[in-house]
Amino acid sequence: MAGLGRAALLLSLGLVVYALVAGSYAAWRRRRRLALSAQNALLASFVSTLVAAFVLWSALARRDFSFVYVAEHVNRSLPLGYTLAAFWGGQEGSLLLWLMILSGYAALAVWLNRRTRDLIAWVVPVLAGVAVFFAFMLCFVSSPFKTAPAPADGAGMVPSLQNPYMLAHPPLLYLGYVGLTIPFAFAMGALLSRRTDERWIVATRRWTLAAWTFLGVGQLLGAHWAYVEIGWGGYYAWDPVENAAFMPWLAATAFLHSVMIQEKRGMLKLWNMVLVALAFCLSIFGTFLTRSGVINSIHSFSQSPLGGWFLGFIVLVTAFSVTLIYVRLPLLRARTKLESLVSREAAFLYNNLLLVAFCLTILWGVAYPLLTEAVRGETRTVSKPYYNFFLHSFGLPLLLLMGIGPLVAWRRASLRSLGRIFLVPLAAAVVTGVVLIAFGFGSSTPGLLAYTFSAFVAASIALEFWRGTRATGSLLRLVARNRRRYGGYLVHAAVLLFAIGVAGSSAYQTVRERGLQRGQSMAVAGYTLTYEELGARQEANAVATRATIDVSRGGSHVTTLYPGKNNYPVAPGGPQTSNEVSIYHDPRNLGDVFLIADQIDKNGTLYLKALVKPLVNLIWAAGFLFVFGSLVAMWPDAVEQRRLAERYAAGAVAA
């Protein structure tokens, strides 16, 4: 079977190399049949990559330890779900997942846009170029189909990966990372074919939104995974690999906003090209960080030979994008100008500047250790205060802009109209601020600002829906007529919930830590935690030790929690121990009582860390609203589709 996997990957490589070379020649020399043939090669590469993926999944399911990849990532006691998820648990499998998603996306995008032949003729070689890199890596640098004499049992999976989120978080992130290739390929295809009209934007609008949604949801699932599994009491640690997914998401967020300005006003053509290229380069950079092991991170499971290849590819992609954009500059000049600094489009522009500035400061923080090591020979890292400073500096104004932007009219707004429109949101913000200070929440300035701004944004979103409903006569009609706008507002509401959750759980959290003997208690934020007993049980692949903690408030029993540790006798690199936290979701404040058994002594002494995190559950609730809002925005609009079909009908005939 390994032979079939290797052959399928070699076939994929051959097909995408053909699609790159023949496709480029066909697009350059205007050869119709050759261009179609290159398209077919790209479609066929998806099938051969699927065959390779099937071979690996089959080997994992059969626990065929003659595959080195299988022997290194699973063992016989690992449950089947995690065994199959080991496909993306290691470097080689992740690369195969990248190629599989890329070739699938590429096949679908080419098929859906096959009528726009002049544009797609150039899109095919760009997509193929990216696929060539990954197929080459899989064939010659990091093959999942290496074989060796089979050991009696495999090394197993890293304990922290043995979590249900392992089944969803990595593939969702990859769906997002890889999805950004499609808008990039269409943007570069538009530049190469000199078709800098809106065709490429229309073709990729939903792709970008879908990739952005996948990235967002993937990160949120990763945050929840870290929260319940890693056992340090937080959900985001500014880890380089977490940042690696956050940066392309920020760049894509900026693009999703600025592309609207191009569609509505014909402005920012150059800026949009830059953002698409930036988002794609950052997605490759993210994969490089995760898979190269170049920066110490809990996500970088191994040092690998991939670093140099990835770095070379990133340099190549950046040089290609910059050169192409520079050569086509005359085609990217805007014909209209910003009419006023107080307008919807100006608000979008400020939002873009803040998002990109935030993205670049994070990039600097991530790259800083690499640069210091290269220049000074010693690794220096930037830590949480650096990122938090920029989160407050850029995040809070962004939050405020989320409320200002929708209220301001397009083109220009007079001071009189602004005063009238902002009256209600401003009043909501002031009242919220005063009430919070009165109730003693002024202890954290960022927290207070976040809540005050949130009240402003919430009022502005509610006002938008109310005014729109009044104007159209029905909420459903309002949303149906402009799904993108009102879907976007729902996403804004999700971001708002997220911001409230983050502010509450970080600025106003309470942390207590102490050693307890059986029968002893500790108090934290109104709760009393009593250590009752300690027990151990054998699970499928670990020994689980759990402390029993009674949680009470005001003398009344609330719940019983069981923090502890799992000991995995079989794990990569030898036996490992993981923290198993226990959480009580308090419906009163939408927060959590979060218990960590930091240390358990042989005599039964428990060093318990307790965190009370108000409003933290709003972060996870925001995820559902985020997906719902994205779906509303993505949902096809029959009227718009008819308009676009009419617009490009003659173009299709000509093409």
Alpha carbon distance 380, 392 (integer Å): 23
Cite the beta strand spans of 255-390 per DSSP E.
Answer: none
The reply to whether 7 sits near another protein by the rule CB under 8 A is yes
Among 16, 20, 26, 127, binds another protein (CB under 8 A): 26
Q: How far apart are the first and last CA of the chain?
A: 44
The reply to whether 33 sits near another protein by the rule CB under 8 A is yes
Instruction: Return the number of other C-beta atoms located less than 10 Å from residue 540's C-beta.
Output: 8
Among 16, 20, 27, 70, binds another protein (CB under 8 A): 27
How many residues bind another protein, per CB under 8 A?
62
Among 364, 410, 624, 635, binds another protein (CB under 8 A): 410
Sites for another protein among residues 119-148 (CB under 8 A): 121
Hunting for tokens 């207070």 — which residue is that? 448
Among 21, 51, 84, 360, binds another protein (CB under 8 A): 51
Specify the DSSP class assigned to residue 166. Answer: G
The reply to whether 31 sits near another protein by the rule CB under 8 A is yes
User: 576 burial class (0-12, 13-18, 19+ CB within 10 angstroms)?
Assistant: middle
Give me the least distance between CB of 206 and another protein, in Å please. 18
Among 408, 457, 499, 618, binds another protein (CB under 8 A): 408
Q: Among 106-114, 169-177, 189-197, 609-617, which window interacts with another protein (CB under 8 A)?
A: 189-197
The reply to whether 32 sits near another protein by the rule CB under 8 A is yes
Q: Smaller CB distance to another protein: residue 1 or 382?
A: 1
The reply to whether 343 sits near another protein by the rule CB under 8 A is no
Among 146, 206, 411, 483, binds another protein (CB under 8 A): 411
Give me the least distance between CB of 76 and another protein, in Å please. 24
Give me the least distance between CB of 336 and another protein, in Å please. 9
Hunting for tokens 């392992």 — which residue is that? 166
The reply to whether 585 sits near another protein by the rule CB under 8 A is no
The reply to whether 77 sits near another protein by the rule CB under 8 A is no
Main-chain dihedrals φ then ψ at residue 312, nearest 5 degrees: -60, -40
Give me the least distance between CB of 55 and another protein, in Å please. 8
Among positive and negative, which fits the CA dihedral 340, 345, 347, 348?
negative
Q: Among 208-216, 563-571, 577-585, 647-655, which window interacts with another protein (CB under 8 A)?
A: 647-655
Sites for another protein among residues 252-281 (CB under 8 A): 263-266
The reply to whether 337 sits near another protein by the rule CB under 8 A is no
The reply to whether 63 sits near another protein by the rule CB under 8 A is no
Q: Smaller CB distance to another protein: residue 168 or 655?
A: 655
| Encoded amino acid at 397, one letter | P
Q: Which of 357, 370, 271, 382 is nearest to 314 (CA)?
A: 370
Q: Smaller CB distance to another protein: residue 511 or 645?
A: 645
Among 21, 25, 37, 543, binds another protein (CB under 8 A): 37
Strands 564-568 vs 527-538: parallel, antiparallel or unpaired: unpaired
Give me the least distance between CB of 267 and another protein, in Å please. 10
Strands 606-613 vs 510-516: parallel, antiparallel or unpaired: antiparallel
Among 4, 334, 424, 480, binds another protein (CB under 8 A): 4
User: 196 burial class (0-12, 13-18, 19+ CB within 10 angstroms)?
Assistant: buried
Alpha carbon distance 29, 212 (integer Å): 35
| Cα of 513 vs its chain's centroid, Å | 33
| Encoded amino acid at 579, one letter | N
244 and 290 in contact (C-beta within 8 Å)?
A: yes
Alpha carbon distance 124, 27 (integer Å): 9
Q: Smaller CB distance to another protein: residue 10 or 228?
A: 10
Q: Among 30-38, 106-114, 166-174, 517-525, which window interacts with another protein (CB under 8 A)?
A: 30-38
Hunting for tokens 């210091």 — which residue is that? 372
Q: Among 23-31, 310-318, 365-373, 375-383, which window interacts with another protein (CB under 8 A)?
A: 23-31
Alpha carbon distance 367, 461 (integer Å): 37
> Token pair for residue 385?
């205060």
Partners of residue 577 on adjacent β-strands: 567
CA distances from 508 to 442, 447, 465, 612, 614 (A): 10, 8, 31, 9, 7
The reply to whether 580 sits near another protein by the rule CB under 8 A is no
Instruction: Return the number of other C-beta atoms located less than 10 Å from residue 508's C-beta.
Output: 19
111 and 43 in contact (C-beta within 8 Å)?
A: yes
The reply to whether 416 sits near another protein by the rule CB under 8 A is yes
Map residues 446-485 to x or -, x wherever contact with another protein holds by CB under 8 A. Answer: ------------------x--xx-xx--------------
Among 47, 141, 314, 382, binds another protein (CB under 8 A): 47
> Token pair for residue 95?
């690369």
> Token pair for residue 78?
């690992």
Which residues would be at the binding site for another protein (CB under 8 A)?
1-4, 7-8, 11, 15, 18, 26-27, 30-37, 40-41, 43-44, 47-48, 51, 117-118, 121, 193, 195, 197-199, 263-266, 407-414, 416-417, 420-421, 464, 467-468, 470-471, 643, 647-648, 650-651, 654-655
